[in-house]
Amino acid sequence: MLALATNERINQLLLDHVDDGLWNTKPATQSGRTIAAIVSHMHNVRLMWLKVVAKGIEMPAKLERTSVTKQEAKEALAASHRSLDGVLRKSLASGKVANFSAGPVGFVGYLIAHDGHHRGQISMQLRQLGARLPDEVVMAMWDWPKLAREAVQH
């Protein structure tokens, strides 16, 4: 599922540019989640959906937002992506996703929107912490044709 793989490539690209020193830094507003907690939430919501739409499959491990490292989070996101990709490939054949009435395309849209929302939070948090993403990284995150080619290679 190329759209979902491209979305995951964007997640990985963003995380590659999060300074390790800011991973567990409290937001500048002093309320809300750390970047580690946001990424943990992204992965853990994927697990929640996997439990709902694909009962009985082997599940990646849940992340603990206060102790997860950036590398562990990157690997966990990749694992939950692979699990979702497998479920969605099977769902495309039937046109249905168990317990999700909007079907496979709607489910992909939901997953991408959820990740995109949290990527925006991470980007804003970096800016507020004085570590704005370089313009070339921001532009690269929008280059879906290139990222899709990269996603196929991974």
Q: What is the pLDDT of residue 1?
A: 81
CB atoms within 10 A of CB 139: 10
The listed CATH number (1.10.260.40, 1.20.120.450, 1.10.3720.10, 1.25.40.10) that belongs to domain 2-153: 1.20.120.450
Q: Answer for the pair 68, 24: CB distance below 8 angstroms, yes or no.
A: no
Distance CA 84, CA 145 (A): 21
pLDDT along the chain (154 residues), means of 10: 94 96 91 95 97 91 95 97 94 92 95 97 95 94 93 82
Chain-centroid distance of CA 100 in Å reads: 19
* Count of C-beta atoms within a 10 Å radius of residue 50: 19
Give the start-to-end residue ranges of the domains of the chain: 2-153
Given a contact cutoff of 8 angstroms between Cβ atoms, the answer to whether 113 and 10 are in contact is no
* pLDDT at residue 30, rounded to an integer: 78
How many Cβ atoms sit within 10 Å of the Cβ of residue 102?
11
